[in-house]
Structure 1
């Protein structure tokens, strides 16, 4: 194999050390100490993790290789406005930390979709689980494929060697080490991501003469702006689309994501889980800010010679890899550090995904249909390891599909919008609307998915077109690149940005087609709010049409604490009195007193989200409902 220019033995050593450390962490937790013998140890780290490493793990699972490769190019192409999304985490994180995740934590469940069955029925639970598995398996294959292309571009290493190596290593340490290995490797990979992006910024600023020079060049081009107050929904980024649209789009990652919830569940208490979420805010904002500033440095470097316009790269998201290859190969180990940072994003995404897929598959599909067969903890852990390994193999094999079928890859990249917003809608219907029944929840979710599918497919026929900042090739000395392997190795389909590349030429349109094309030309940030609104509205309408659920029959543990607060201050006194009944003991739902009147040897007083609950010990169900 011939080494690419500038990718030296030092670079391979740096990259190899990162992979080796990940393997050693997995071996340590899988083969030493407690060896992850129980289900809770394997999936939830025995619910004893400190909130600091969990916070780093949350960030690492959120930031993927696609982010590291694509975000700088986003800033290069559309300007600094995207950075404003950092402020949305001050909205989404508190909501998730106080209104969603504590409800799930206190139920002592492993799969968040167990909540869906408790609140609605098994069919709703299986629908959500199936959607998650479908989404996650495709996304994981892309998470491995994208950085493998980058590695191939800067090192000359064949893309399939890269895919197989990284996929197998990640699957190994995730399957062997369980949640503890996932969390601690995420901590390591977080530090590598910080180091890689920071190194690019520092070296780039040195070459330019300072960070202020890079900032001024971008500012002179109009790329530095912080507030677009336009009410036009077709503008790609505005204050409204970011703070409303992006908030709803990113919220499922924090509020109703199995990967996030497992980390939250791994903490010692709800309070520690909330701390981990809050601590992750500055970490996420820092990594996003670094990636965005990489885009500024990259633009300032290529202000007169855009690699895309000059034909040196095939698609926008190749710019970052080309930037490192073109400017920093004279620094030993720099290429290896950048690739390590990119792959750290991939490894963290893959490990959290594999662990969560094994959890939901076992809890939601195998366990409910086991016909009463109970496995020991050791056998259950073995099954989980097999599932984790199987999903790792599937993710690697799916790369074969997505690398050769651009249409499938585009659908896979759009699948997040297709799945996450409607599933979030079902959780909102369950947590905040006690009138919702199972028919309404399922119908609403299917309706939301249908709208998402219309948007996803429609973009192929009426592709959106958002204005881009102009670029220049006036300073290019050679428009054709000698680094031809960069263009040929990267498949032009493997980018988030390329989703918006027109695939159909529009000619004359009818008025109906023009209206549909305008709808699709909305900022991509508005898609999730539209799908979420459809899910909730249809879900409530169907629930009331077929016969709403009596709010007082709903187990109040399954409702967000906000509902209790609102009911306590807003419901009439006679409704409150109706809620003051003892546990019926029949296993068909619990009803709570607002104020407990007993706390003696015959009763147990418990506080759930600020609502005092009383249940006579002789009538209290155990966790199995007996």
Structure 2
């Protein structure tokens, strides 16, 4: 049996890339969309609810999730799935407190999402047929101690517990959907707030279903390799290669299936990268390029904006390629991604929350809070040394090797010698960054307000549109009372 790609696989991969590229080229040369910055960045606010809901899910659950979550379940058990409860708790907060603010200021994802789902289904279906049913996969996982939802520890250094997964998942989801440029820009492609809220709500069950599906694919992989762990046997260099290894080893006899899987991986990556390109281009254009022209009192036409936006998106694509070359140095794919989300997302969520919820907050307090929390998050998130990630035991009795993989090569004494903050679970990084930014910002604004009477004058000119609905309503009521 050949374990390499054949011509039909290359055809499928090529067609996937051509379809994704072709959609953009069609709108570029057909005389239709993308002639203005509004069309290019927010699709003229003319996208459908379902399309954007799928797009939100695809941007969140990229190739990192497709490869990382499955290997997480394979090596560490099912406890990670509890994170979806945090997602559920964050959804109404996003829809009713954060999203309205951005709306007042104010595609290919469905295709890529389908390919992602197809990749997961392929792994699960073939594993079910191989072992003899879904119940058999579950029984094997129970026997191998992969089914685990028992950790209720309050110790912040425990990697996964109910508390850090729910609370940490809440803040990660809130930062990604509530204030992240990529997701907010996607939601703003819908014409009105009511439909945008519907898209946010609809993306939740889609996300939950796919997270559970990817997680079960991890159990399916374990059912296949329970007696011959590929990494211990030397077949792969990283656990994140488990799913591609499974596809090539077991499905190469079906021409086209490996190509479909790789197309799914590419599609998952394309959706995230394209969203990053678009959002980064929008930020650079609005916050750096246009202000330069305004400072020089020069006109920056709509046509110039549109062409500059596309050029900036191209440059961001090159940056993404460079970062991809460095990604192999990050280690555990899922934990590395969520660490970055937490380190960056926590302070960002904190500074937006400060501005949207606190009337007395000003630029100085916001900047100081952001700098302090970002510094703390970077220190905790990337400080060394880190304790080794504990792993469940694996077996190689079915392989032609005699070595075994230990559950945890570090003793508890060694872990205790590591600085405490470096041992905190990565699931707490986003919440810690958020709380630090909010506290520093509040304290700083309180001190500034005590030393200055400027706040009393500024409160008279606050723009309600910049605040979350409850605070905005209070400001409008106060402003109306002053008129009489």
Q: Determine if the TM-score, normalized by the shorter chain, exceeds 0.5.
A: yes
Residue 397 of structure 1 deviates from its aligned partner by 3.6
Distance of 1:280 and 1:249 partners within structure 2: 15
Q: Which residue does 2:444 correspond to in 1?
A: 542
Q: Which residue does 1:335 correspond to in 2?
A: 258
Structure 2: unaligned runs, 5 residues or longer: none
Residue 524 of structure 1 deviates from its aligned partner by 1.1
Residue 4 of structure 1 deviates from its aligned partner by 7.0
Asked if the contact 1:231–1:240 (Cα under 8 Å) also holds between the matched residues in 2, the reply is: yes
The answer to whether 1:580 aligns with 2:481 is: yes
Change (3 A) 1:225 1:5: closer
Distance of 2:411 and 2:151 partners within structure 1: 30
Change (3 A) 1:471 1:92: same
SS in 1 for 2:481: coil
Q: 47-56 vs 226-235, which deviates more?
A: 226-235
Asked if the contact 2:84–2:169 (Cα under 8 Å) also holds between the matched residues in 1, the reply is: no
TM-score (ref. length: structure 2):
0.90
The answer to whether 1:303 aligns with 2:204 is: no
Which structure has the larger Rg? Answer: 1
Q: 2:12 pairs with 11, 14, 31, which one?
A: 14
Change (3 A) 1:75 1:474: same
After superposition, the C-alpha distances for 1:497-530 in whole angstroms (9 at most, x for unaligned) are xxxx99x999989xxx94x623322221112111
Residue 97 of structure 1 deviates from its aligned partner by 1.2
Q: Which has the higher helix share?
A: 2
Distance of 2:364 and 2:39 partners within structure 1: 36
Asked if the contact 2:343–2:429 (Cα under 8 Å) also holds between the matched residues in 1, the reply is: no
The answer to whether 1:107 aligns with 2:105 is: yes
Q: Which residue does 2:191 correspond to in 1?
A: 268
Residue 557 of structure 1 deviates from its aligned partner by 1.6
Structure 1: unaligned runs, 5 residues or longer: 109-183, 481-500, 569-574, 583-592, 594-626
Asked if the contact 1:77–1:468 (Cα under 8 Å) also holds between the matched residues in 2, the reply is: yes
RMSD over aligned Cα atoms: 2.7
The answer to whether 1:452 aligns with 2:354 is: no
Q: Which residue does 1:614 correspond to in 2?
A: none
Q: Which residue does 1:558 correspond to in 2?
A: 466
After superposition, the C-alpha distances for 1:428-449 in whole angstroms (9 at most, x for unaligned) are 1011111212111110110001
Asked if the contact 2:341–2:430 (Cα under 8 Å) also holds between the matched residues in 1, the reply is: no
Change (3 A) 1:77 1:508: closer
Asked if the contact 1:234–1:521 (Cα under 8 Å) also holds between the matched residues in 2, the reply is: yes
Q: 1:396 pairs with 312, 321, 328, which one?
A: 321
After superposition, the C-alpha distances for 1:189-230 in whole angstroms (9 at most, x for unaligned) are 000111111011101110111111011110122221334322
* 1:405-484 correspondence to structure 2 within 5 Å: 414-458=339-383, 460-461=384-385, 463-478=386-401
Distance of 2:200 and 2:184 partners within structure 1: 10
Distance of 1:578 and 1:23 partners within structure 2: 51
Distance of 1:352 and 1:210 partners within structure 2: 38
Q: 1:216 pairs with 132, 139, 142, which one?
A: 139
Change (3 A) 1:415 1:80: closer
Change (3 A) 1:82 1:508: closer
Residue 27 of structure 1 deviates from its aligned partner by 1.5
Asked if the contact 1:311–1:479 (Cα under 8 Å) also holds between the matched residues in 2, the reply is: no
After superposition, the C-alpha distances for 1:455-504 in whole angstroms (9 at most, x for unaligned) are 1332x22x133432111111213579xxxxxxxxxxxxxxxxxxxx99x9
Residue 414 of structure 1 deviates from its aligned partner by 4.3
Q: 2:181 pairs with 258, 261, 275, which one?
A: 258
Change (3 A) 1:439 1:277: same
Distance of 1:401 and 1:242 partners within structure 2: 28
Asked if the contact 1:246–1:525 (Cα under 8 Å) also holds between the matched residues in 2, the reply is: yes
Residue 291 of structure 1 deviates from its aligned partner by 0.8
Distance of 1:413 and 1:467 partners within structure 2: 17
Q: Which residue does 1:228 correspond to in 2?
A: 151
Q: Which residue does 1:167 correspond to in 2?
A: none
The answer to whether 1:280 aligns with 2:199 is: no
Residue 271 of structure 1 deviates from its aligned partner by 0.7
Change (3 A) 1:521 1:197: same
Q: Which residue does 1:80 correspond to in 2?
A: 78
Change (3 A) 1:57 1:206: same
